[in-house]
Amino acid sequence: MLIAGGTGSGKTYFILTIIEQLLKTDAKLYILDPKNADLADLSVVIPNVYHQKDDMINCIESFYYRMLERN
Protein backbone atom coordinates (compact mmCIF):
# COMPACT_ATOMS: atom_id res chain seq x y z
CA MET A 1 0.00 0.00 0.00
CA LEU A 2 1.29 3.48 -0.79
CA ILE A 3 -0.02 6.38 1.25
CA ALA A 4 1.16 9.78 0.10
CA GLY A 5 0.74 13.20 1.65
CA GLY A 6 2.55 16.14 3.05
CA THR A 7 3.98 16.51 6.52
CA GLY A 8 1.25 16.60 9.15
CA SER A 9 -1.48 15.41 6.77
CA GLY A 10 -2.48 12.40 8.89
CA LYS A 11 -0.79 9.49 7.11
CA THR A 12 0.37 7.82 10.31
CA TYR A 13 -3.01 8.35 11.96
CA PHE A 14 -4.69 6.73 8.93
CA ILE A 15 -2.36 3.70 9.09
CA LEU A 16 -2.85 3.34 12.84
CA THR A 17 -6.63 3.43 12.35
CA ILE A 18 -6.40 0.61 9.79
CA ILE A 19 -4.16 -1.41 12.14
CA GLU A 20 -6.56 -0.86 15.03
CA GLN A 21 -9.49 -2.18 13.00
CA LEU A 22 -7.51 -5.20 11.74
CA LEU A 23 -6.54 -6.10 15.31
CA LYS A 24 -10.25 -6.54 16.05
CA THR A 25 -10.37 -9.34 13.46
CA ASP A 26 -8.49 -12.61 13.24
CA ALA A 27 -6.00 -11.06 10.83
CA LYS A 28 -2.33 -11.74 11.45
CA LEU A 29 -0.39 -8.51 10.97
CA TYR A 30 3.24 -8.05 10.04
CA ILE A 31 4.43 -4.47 10.20
CA LEU A 32 7.68 -3.48 8.50
CA ASP A 33 8.96 0.02 9.20
CA PRO A 34 12.31 0.52 7.44
CA LYS A 35 12.55 4.12 8.62
CA ASN A 36 12.18 3.01 12.25
CA ALA A 37 9.69 5.79 12.73
CA ASP A 38 6.19 5.80 14.24
CA LEU A 39 5.18 2.22 13.47
CA ALA A 40 8.27 0.63 15.03
CA ASP A 41 6.95 1.75 18.43
CA LEU A 42 4.06 -0.69 18.02
CA SER A 43 6.42 -3.55 18.90
CA VAL A 44 5.69 -2.77 22.56
CA VAL A 45 2.00 -3.53 22.01
CA ILE A 46 1.81 -6.15 19.24
CA PRO A 47 4.13 -8.86 17.89
CA ASN A 48 5.61 -9.02 14.38
CA VAL A 49 6.81 -5.43 14.09
CA TYR A 50 10.14 -5.18 12.31
CA HIS A 51 12.46 -2.28 11.57
CA GLN A 52 15.88 -3.95 11.23
CA LYS A 53 16.91 -4.87 7.67
CA ASP A 54 17.68 -8.55 8.41
CA ASP A 55 14.46 -9.02 10.37
CA MET A 56 12.40 -7.52 7.55
CA ILE A 57 14.09 -9.72 4.93
CA ASN A 58 13.46 -12.83 7.08
CA CYS A 59 9.82 -11.83 7.54
CA ILE A 60 9.29 -11.37 3.79
CA GLU A 61 11.05 -14.65 2.95
CA SER A 62 9.03 -16.52 5.56
CA PHE A 63 5.81 -15.04 4.23
CA TYR A 64 6.81 -15.97 0.67
CA TYR A 65 7.56 -19.60 1.54
CA ARG A 66 4.34 -19.97 3.54
CA MET A 67 2.44 -18.59 0.55
CA LEU A 68 4.10 -21.16 -1.74
CA GLU A 69 3.17 -23.96 0.66
CA ARG A 70 -0.48 -22.93 0.57
CA ASN A 71 -0.50 -23.05 -3.24
Is residue 27 exposed (0-12), middle (13-18) or buried (19+ Cβ within 10 Å)? Answer: exposed
Structural contact between residues 49 and 43, judged by C-beta atoms closer than 8 angstroms? yes
Q: Which residues contact 14 (CB under 8 A, 6 or more apart)?
A: 3
Residue 71 pLDDT: 85
pLDDT tens for 19-51 read 889 888 988 888 888 888 777 778 788 888 898
The yes-or-no verdict on residue 1 having pLDDT over 90 is no
Q: Give the global pTM.
A: 0.71
